[in-house]
Amino acid sequence: MIPIAASALMWLLVANLLILRRGRADRSILYSAVTIAIAMTFNVDTTYRWVDPVLGGTNVVTLLADLTLMVGVFFLGRGVAKAMQYQSRVAHIALGRSVLAVAVVGAVTAFACIDRGETTTTFMLDLGAQPAAATYSIIQFTYDGVVLTAMAAAASRQIGRSRGSERLPAVSVLVGSLSGLALSLVVIAMDLAHIVGNLTLMDGFSAVYDPLFLATFVFLCLGLGAQPALRWVRARSREEGTRALLAQVTPIWERAIDVRPGLSQLEPAFHREDAETQLHRQIVEVRDAVIDPRVAFALSDAERLAVESAEAHLMAGEAGASLKAEAPHVGCPKEPR
């Protein structure tokens, strides 16, 4: 059931990103979500049993799913590093194409040496005693661990730079990354125990596999979904505040342009501009009317308060934009077969 739930949630996450993150210049986060969702779909038993026989019935789908996941993890790490402005040289190397290429070549080489038999949905349980299969799994989860370590470092840095609710996505990514790192270490330990024939130790490690997998998946996916959702909520709240202030300032502005016509009257596009731009223009023209000695125009105490509130609102938006930082994207390690 875990792969089914993971696949469903990842595709929902893709839809979420397409809606809430449209227009973003950096697509690493979206690419990561899509590729990880595809990998998780391949790991669903029904899909696996249907696709693998088409490709020869020798568990080639395992390789396709795992390589797709590694590419997804690659985009994940790069997306998180860019979003959190994490510039560590070590992280830059770890998240680079060269490390991914080495991991992919190593995994493909190890996979080619496995005596894979016929289609099985419990690949590592059935074949994990083979040194090549253990090596194959260890290479994948070592790569996952490297990326997750870099993500944890980036999230820790972002937590220190954020305030209030803006910390929540980074905290979620940190918890998910640490859970994923622990998961990677557990899987590697299981692989080593399997290859030496210590099934009791392997079963002991497997007891914590599902909780770690779920924690990794849930917290990383929350980190991914929370940031654009919080941004959307803030944007909606600000838009409502802008329109409320615009309704207060517009009568003042209309009175001001009666005595001192402004440039906005000469521009037909003025009333088609967004509310924030309209509010800015209106405040400028109101202030111009106040300071122009050629006209008699003054603000009442209530009007002055409304204009000052609108100015503070616009200045807060400019300050927020200058400090704005993108938050983490997340994917999820796979369930070993």
Whether residue 220 is found in the same domain as residue 296? no
Whether residue 248 is found in the same domain as residue 211? no
Give the pLDDT confidence score for residue 24 in this predicted structure.
Answer: 61
Q: What is the C-alpha separation between 44 and 51, in angstroms, rounded?
A: 11
Whether residue 215 is found in the same domain as residue 276? no
Whether residue 213 is found in the same domain as residue 260? no
Write the CA distances from 65 to 45, 62, 86, 238, 247, integer angstroms: 12, 5, 29, 43, 55
Q: Say if 337 falls within a structural domain.
A: no
Q: Say if 333 falls within a structural domain.
A: no
**What CATH number corresponds to the domain at position 198?**
1.20.1070
Q: Say if 334 falls within a structural domain.
A: no
Counting as low any pLDDT under 50, the low residues of the chain are: 322-337
Whether residue 129 is found in the same domain as residue 254? no
Domain end, chosen from 173, 205, 225, is at 225
pTM strictly above 0.85? no
Q: Say if 113 falls within a structural domain.
A: yes
Domain count, the chain: 2
Whether residue 183 is found in the same domain as residue 51? yes
Domain end, chosen from 198, 225, 252, is at 225
**Longest alpha-carbon distance in the chain:** 95
Whether residue 87 is found in the same domain as residue 42? yes
Q: Say if 190 falls within a structural domain.
A: yes
Whether residue 191 is found in the same domain as residue 122? yes
Give the pLDDT confidence score for residue 136 in this predicted structure.
Answer: 97
Whether residue 217 is found in the same domain as residue 239? no
Whether residue 7 is found in the same domain as residue 89? yes
Residue numbers of the domain that contains 49:
2-225
Give the pLDDT confidence score for residue 318 in this predicted structure.
Answer: 62
User: Amino acid identity, residue 60?
Assistant: V
Whether residue 293 is found in the same domain as residue 213? no
Domain end, chosen from 199, 225, 251, is at 225
Give the pLDDT confidence score for residue 327 in this predicted structure.
Answer: 38
**Each residue of 172-194: pLDDT tens digit?**
999 999 999 999 999 999 999 99
Give the pLDDT confidence score for residue 22 in this predicted structure.
Answer: 63
Q: Say if 114 falls within a structural domain.
A: yes
Q: Say if 335 falls within a structural domain.
A: no
Whether residue 45 is found in the same domain as residue 146? yes
Of the candidates 1, 5, 20, which has an alpha carbon nearest to the alpha carbon of residue 217? 5
Q: What is the C-alpha separation between 44 and 203, in angstroms, rounded?
A: 23
Give the pLDDT confidence score for residue 224 in this predicted structure.
Answer: 77
Q: Say if 330 falls within a structural domain.
A: no
